[in-house]
Amino acid sequence: MAVKIHVTRPTKIELARLKKRLRLAKRIQKIIKDRLSILVMEFLQTVRESAEVRERLQKEYEEAYKALSLSVGYHGYAQVEQSLMVSSMPFSLHASTRNVAGVTLPTFQMEQDRDSSSWFSPAEDSSLIEYASSAAQRCLSGTVELAELQSALELLGDEINKVKRVNNALEYSVIPGLDATIKYLSMKFEERDREEVARLKYVKLLIEKREAYAY
């Protein structure tokens, strides 16, 4: 990739300003790389947790489906449907946020109302229906947990892509451009200084010759 050299004012003041910008760009790049490392570590950890929750949730859904099938087989579809229609599970879902390297991630906390009655009444329903209800409750809790992790993955992934673009711009465009411009100006000034020294030596030699002819 060709590096563009931008020279607005070929002066030593401009050279000093470019060197200052280069030092600042390198410090910013270091900060961005550290932040990117934190985000990637958090993303990988969230991926592992999401895979574990997804695997566990799949087993819980299978268990809940089996329990519901047994309940329907034992009591019949009509009675199970009636129990489901009159039943309820009061719960509250609390949403908050947490900050990871400048990224705001959502957190969900599901709490069942302990003061309310049970989801199913043991006096009216059998242990099969009660077990099915417990399995369904675990599925609901796991679904909320998975939703939190999936939301975090999307936000972290978007932020990682943004930070990577900034880092790539610094690494492959801004810093090389500044470095090339600084080298170009430094070479020009060194060449100009050498020409000035040579010119002064030539002038000095002419003066010495004139003084020698004067005598």
Structure tokens at 119: 């989801």
| Other Cβ atoms within 10 Å of 125 Cβ, number | 22
Alpha carbons 54 and 60: distance in angstroms, whole number = 10
**How high is the pLDDT of residue 120?**
47
Angle between helices 12-75 and 175-214 (to 10 degrees): 170
Mean pLDDT of the chain: 81
Give the pLDDT band (50/70/90) at residue 90: low
Angstrom CA distances, 176 to 1, 16, 184, stand at 10, 16, 12
Structure tokens at 4: 């563009």
| Other Cβ atoms within 10 Å of 141 Cβ, number | 15
**How high is the pLDDT of residue 89?**
61
Phi and psi torsions of 109, nearest 5°: -130, 115
Structure tokens at 178: 């500044």
Angle between helices 12-75 and 77-86 (to 10 degrees): 130
Alpha carbons 54 and 149: distance in angstroms, whole number = 10
Residue 60 near residue 136, CB atoms below 8 Å: no
- Grouping H, G, I as helix, E, B as strand and the rest as coil, residue 131 is helix
Residue 101 near residue 42, CB atoms below 8 Å: yes
For the cut 50, the answer to whether the pLDDT of residue 119 exceeds it is no
**How high is the pLDDT of residue 87?**
56
Which one, of 97, 96, 108, lies nearest residue 53 by Cα? 108
Q: Could you tell me the residue ranges of all domains in the chain?
A: 12-214
Q: What is the mean pLDDT of residues 140-153?
A: 91
| The domain over range 12-214 is classified in CATH as 1.10.287.3240 | yes
**How high is the pLDDT of residue 4?**
61
For the cut 90, the answer to whether the pLDDT of residue 187 exceeds it is no
Taking the CA atoms of 184, 188, 194 and 198 in sequence, report the sign of the dihedral they define. Answer: positive
**How high is the pLDDT of residue 41?**
95
Range picked from 36-40, 70-74, 93-97, 123-127 for highest mean pLDDT: 36-40
Q: Please write the tens of the pLDDT for every residue from 6-42.
A: 666 778 888 889 999 999 999 999 999 999 999 999 9
**How high is the pLDDT of residue 50?**
93
Structure tokens at 48: 């592992």
